[in-house]
Structure 1
Amino acid sequence: MSLPTGRVRSTQAPAAEEDERPRRSDARQRRSALLAAVGTLIAERGTEFPLAEAAERAGISTATAYRNFSDTGSAVDAYFADLMGDLLEAFDGLPVGDDPLADIRVLCHEWVAQATRWGAAAVHMRSPRGLLARRNMEDPFIGALYDRLARLVETAMTRGRIPQQDVRFAVLMWVTIFDERVVVDLTGTLGWSEKTAADHLTEALLRTFGVPPAVLPRAIYG
């Protein structure tokens, strides 16, 4: 006696799903490898390179690259979208303590850690508009970044850890001091360690906020 149609489907569906999962995982890995190659090429010479070259760097076929992205521009956009998403996700994963200045320091160190990895590529994608103008234009990433930084500034002011000030200016200075070009210059050109760069940039930021300077160890030059 044959099984009912519904029983046949229920026994076959899990197998089909099990077959599909490795394919989806492989596709994600190929996409990640392709975007990593895109980031390397951007860091080396900017955004003008053929998608086929990125595919070769990633060890995948050109056809696979074009199944993921229509052209180099869309791959570059995806690389930076992932980068910005990872940065915000890293910020959201940081612990929140009782001292807002300590929280600011932790975020600053995470920012430098992130920028050390992708800063050499990010310097090639600069908007001609300023942070506040882009926020007013409702740029989704800038808006999300601004909100996270502004909350920390407002909390520090509310708790009396920094003087009252214009939050917009404070956030603008924060983004300016932690510009990826600055991080690349400190860690690459000067040869500072990631921690030394983060310590000094953080203290520069806090002094901008009106916090008395801390005593820092001498930077080690390469």
Structure 2
Amino acid sequence: MSQHRERPLRADAERNRQLIMRAADRLFARRGTTVPLNDIAHEAGVGVGTVYRRFPDLQALIDALFIERFTTFLRLADEAERQPDPGGALLHYLLAAAQWRARDQALDIVLAHADLDAKPASGMRDELGRHVDGLVERARAAGAVRDDFESADVYAFLYMIGAVADRTHAVAPDAWRRYAEVLLSGFGMDLPAAARTSAMTDGQVRRSWPEPPPAPPS
């Protein structure tokens, strides 16, 4: 597992830190990273000074959110590597990572704006890449996935699942599973017999269509 950890905070400080980070998640998902720290403090229900004590600027907050997410992905990869079957290990990671991505509407915003060349983010990015490479290589060597499957396909898979999940989360929150199953089958992976999610109804599809932006104030 990754050794990138911060010194533990007091309970009240950690509670405030989590309130701030969850508030940032919600606002980033709705408004992108143009959100000022004052708005994040208001959303979190804490004072502006509390936010600035933990995060001196917006970039520091974004980088903390990146580290939190990559800590999770590293944990999922570690859990997958404990699976004895190479194909099962890769499948475990893909499904667990897809489920996490489906819940995380702010992930793309965080990835797009994190400082990936700074430490510890750069080390965590490279570490996850090594884990994913290993999972893919072992599954391919075992014939558990198409022989042309590459690590890049893992990331593309998560991009596609994220796009479906972000569009349908308020209408059919499990719709992404159907398309994950289709993609994984196309990659040549053996899915559990019970893995078959129903398609959305026509009404759900219509409700998931893009909406026009709000009219500017007159």
Give the TM-score taking structure 2 as reference length: 0.71
**Counterpart among 198, 207, 211 of residue 177 in structure 2:** 198
Partner of 1:117: 103
Distance 1:64 1:44, change over 3 A: same
Match of 1:27 among 13, 29, 35: 13
CA displacement, residues 136-157 of structure 1 (integer Å, 9 cap, x when unaligned) = xx94333222212211111123
Paired residues for 1:45-194 under 5 Å:
45-94=31-80, 96-118=82-104, 120-125=105-110, 127=112, 139-165=122-148, 170-179=150-159, 181-185=162-166, 187-188=168-169, 191=172, 193=174
Helix, strand or coil at the partner of 2:98 = helix
Contact 1:31 1:68 in 2 (8 A): yes
Cα distance in structure 2, aligned partners of 1:202 and 1:150: 22
Whether the aligned pair in 1 keeps the contact of 2:90 and 2:135 (CA below 8 Å) is yes
Once the 2 structures are TM-superposed, how far is the Cα of residue 86 of structure 1 from its aligned partner? 1.9
Pick closer, same or farther for the CA change 1:113–1:214 going to 2, 3 Å.
Answer: closer
State how far apart, in whole Å, the 2-side matches of 1:200 and 1:147 are: 26
Gap regions ≥5 residues in structure 1: 1-20, 129-133
The code of the aligned residue for 1:71 comes to: D
Question: Is the alpha carbon distance of 1:170 and 1:109 closer, same or farther for their aligned partners in structure 2, counting shifts above 3 Å?
Answer: same
Q: Does 1:37 pair with 2:37?
A: no
Is contact 2:23-2:44 (8 Å) kept? yes
Deviations 1:64-102 (A, max 9, x none): 111111112221221222122122223323473332222
Offset of 1:41 from its aligned partner?
A: 0.8
Q: Is the Cα contact below 8 Å between 1:108 and 1:202 reproduced in 2? A: no
Residues 121-180 of structure 1: CA deviation (Å, up to 9, x unaligned): 12324549xxxxx9xxx9433322221221111112332323544xxx611011111116
Q: SS of the counterpart of 1:220?
A: coil
- Residues 87 and 142 in structure 2, CA contact (< 8 A), matched pair in contact too: no
Q: Corresponding residue for 1:217?
A: 196
Alignment deviations for residues 154-207 of structure 1 (CA, whole Å, 9 cap, x no partner): 112332323544xxx6110111111163242464387251xx533532541452
Instruction: Answer 1 or 2: which has greater helix percent.
Output: 1
Measured at CA, do residues 219 and 185 of structure 1 come closer, stay the same or move farther in structure 2, by a change above 3 Å?
farther
Aligned residues: 186
Q: Residue deviations 1:34-64, cap 9 Å, x none?
A: 1111111100100011111111211111111
CA deviation after TM superposition for structure 1 residue 214, in Å: 8.7
Q: For 1:219, what is the secondary structure of its paired residue?
A: coil
**Counterpart Cα distance in 1 of 2:52 and 2:131:** 36
- Structure 2's unaligned 5+ residue stretches are 1-7, 205-218
> Aligned partners of 1:144, 1:127: CA distance in 2, in Å?
19
C-alpha RMSD of the superposition:
3.2
Query: Whole-Å Cα distance in 1 between the matches of residues 15 and 46 of structure 2?
Result: 10
